[in-house]
Chains A and B, each alone.
Chain A
Amino acid sequence: TLRNSKSQAPLCILVDNHEISSGPEVISTLKTVHGVKVEICSLGSCDYIVSNRLAVERKCQAELVNNIHQSKMVQRMQQLKNKFDRICIIVEKERIRTEAWKVFHRTKHYDGMLSAFMQAGIKVLFSACQMETADLLKELALVEQRKNAAIHVPTEVAGPRQDVFRFYLSIPCVSYTLALALCHHFGSLKEMANRYNSL
């Protein structure tokens, strides 16, 4: 059946192009170890999109310990909440040069952040390294696939359609995956606008 062939399709994860430099091992592990179809895009507002409704942010543990970038993070989370039903944060340890078990000093601020994430319904996962992060991303994508939320739309937009895609993307609350879907689902913008009279 169609449904079976769909679940056999390889997992697809969209990756923001900033991750090429900040998380190279995440990307290579997803591709080579897990056989995931990785699409590098300019997502802008988040690090990874693993399904039609789930965005994933990769945060280094040190960033959550003190409130240096707090306001920036709050702003980004609110943007994500506007566009995605579900958000997950993966808290990743920095790479340690030595083999020694590094003691992590947690702060009140760190615990406060975790509490606030929980209260806001943001899922939090903990990772020891980039490879573990890749593994978690794959697992998240699998869970979403089982719930029929996997990304199945073509991730390529060619030629003049790119302008149409950008037009969809500029609408508040329209995520990257939704813009792709609108682009591939409707023949023209006129058709879409007349379908949704509230625009």
Chain B
Amino acid sequence: LQKKTQLITGAVNVPLGHVIGHEKWKGSQIAQELQGKVKLILEDGLGLVDFHLSNRCCILYISEADLVAGNGFKRRLVRFRNTCNLQGIVFVEKTQISNQYFPEMQKFVVLELGMTLLPVASQKEAAQLIAQLVQEQTKAGNPFQSKKCTRLLEPSVLHTVQQIPGVGKTKALLLLENFGNIQQLCNASVQELEGVVGRSLARQIHAFFTQAK
């Protein structure tokens, strides 16, 4: 009998709020725990992948037994990396027994392959995490995504000008009103500066901008 070693190299169409899982997870604790949280569709022919979370993102599951058995799982991950253009998240069962193998495995998965690694203690935890990942994808607005910089620049320019020795808030405002921007301030002569601030400060500011290393 020839075993199916078909590889899925591209996207699988996953409906929103669903997870597509490998046939072998039928009747597993993960499948049971996911009930009522997300809809799990089991299919055969997923190849190396255990679960597809979206069209772009999938999970490869490494059990405690895989980890203890040696480096077989590494070959699977490398094959996945070489053939798939999907984002792969590696779930690993980190238990009291497999704990000692975890640091080496983490270096391999995250630092060598550049994939994401998430430890779980059991299939029950894995199901909770899968549900959370699916939820996160449907949610709008990630708190850690940097927002478009809509801040006014004036306050930060003012703050930067105040880093000049001897210049406080009042003087900084005066200087910006007179010279417009930092570049023009940098190019101001001592005489021009004297028109705005006192002689000694004018010299100090000029020296600050022109002092070479």
> Could you tell me which A residues sit within 8 Å of B by CB distance?
74, 77-78, 81-82, 101, 104, 106, 108, 111-112, 114-120, 122-126, 128, 132, 135, 139-140, 143, 160-161, 163-164, 166-167, 170-172, 184, 187-190, 193-194, 197, 199
**B131, closest chain A residue (CB):** A111
A194 contacts B183, C-beta separation under 8 Å: yes
B183 contacts A77, C-beta separation under 8 Å: no
- B35 CB, min distance to chain A CBs, angstroms: 17
> Which of the residues B111, B145, B160 comes within 8 Å of A119, measured between beta carbons?
B145
Residue B118 CB within 8 A of the other chain: yes
A104 contacts B121, C-beta separation under 8 Å: yes
| A38-B62 Cα distance, complex, nearest whole Å | 36
- B115 CB, min distance to chain A CBs, angstroms: 10
Instruction: Please provide the 4 A-B residue pairs with the shortest distance between their CB atoms, ordered closest to farther.
Output: A81-B146, A115-B136, A120-B144, A111-B132
B167-208: CB near A (< 8 Å → 1, else 0) gives 000000000000001110011000000000000000000001
5 residue pairs of the A-B complex, CB under 8 angstroms, read: A74-B144, A108-B128, A119-B144, A119-B145, A190-B187
Residue B156 CB within 8 A of the other chain: yes
| A13-B152 Cα distance, complex, nearest whole Å | 33
Provided the pairs A82-B146, A122-B144 are in contact, do residues A188 and B212 lie with their beta carbons within 8 angstroms? yes
> Which of the residues A115, A122, A125, A187 comes within 8 Å of B132, measured between beta carbons?
A115
| A132-B182 Cα distance, complex, nearest whole Å | 46
- B64 CB, min distance to chain A CBs, angstroms: 14
Contact count band on B? 35 or more
Contacts of B135 in A (CB 8 A): 112, 115
| A114-B116 Cα distance, complex, nearest whole Å | 11
Provided the pairs A194-B186, A199-B183 are in contact, do residues A167 and B164 lie with their beta carbons within 8 angstroms? yes
| A118-B118 Cα distance, complex, nearest whole Å | 10
**A109, closest chain B residue (CB):** B132
Residue B125 CB within 8 A of the other chain: yes
**Contacts A118-B89, A139-B111, A187-B212 known; 14 new A-B pairs at CB < 8 A:** A81-B145, A111-B129, A115-B132, A118-B116, A119-B144, A119-B145, A120-B145, A125-B110, A126-B119, A172-B153, A188-B209, A189-B208, A190-B187, A194-B186
B165 contacts A163, C-beta separation under 8 Å: yes
A106 contacts B128, C-beta separation under 8 Å: yes
Residue B150 CB within 8 A of the other chain: no
**B165, closest chain A residue (CB):** A163
A166 contacts B146, C-beta separation under 8 Å: no
B186 contacts A163, C-beta separation under 8 Å: no
Residue B2 CB within 8 A of the other chain: no
Residue B82 CB within 8 A of the other chain: no
B156 contacts A112, C-beta separation under 8 Å: no
B182 contacts A199, C-beta separation under 8 Å: yes
A77 contacts B211, C-beta separation under 8 Å: no
- B91 CB, min distance to chain A CBs, angstroms: 11
Residue B76 CB within 8 A of the other chain: no
- A183 CB, min distance to chain B CBs, angstroms: 9
Residue B13 CB within 8 A of the other chain: no
Contacts of B153 in A (CB 8 A): 172
Contacts of B129 in A (CB 8 A): 111, 114-115
Residue B79 CB within 8 A of the other chain: no
Contacts of A125 in B (CB 8 A): 106, 110
Contacts of A167 in B (CB 8 A): 160, 163-164
> Which of the residues A116, A143, A166, A184 comes within 8 Å of B143, measured between beta carbons?
A116
Residue B5 CB within 8 A of the other chain: no
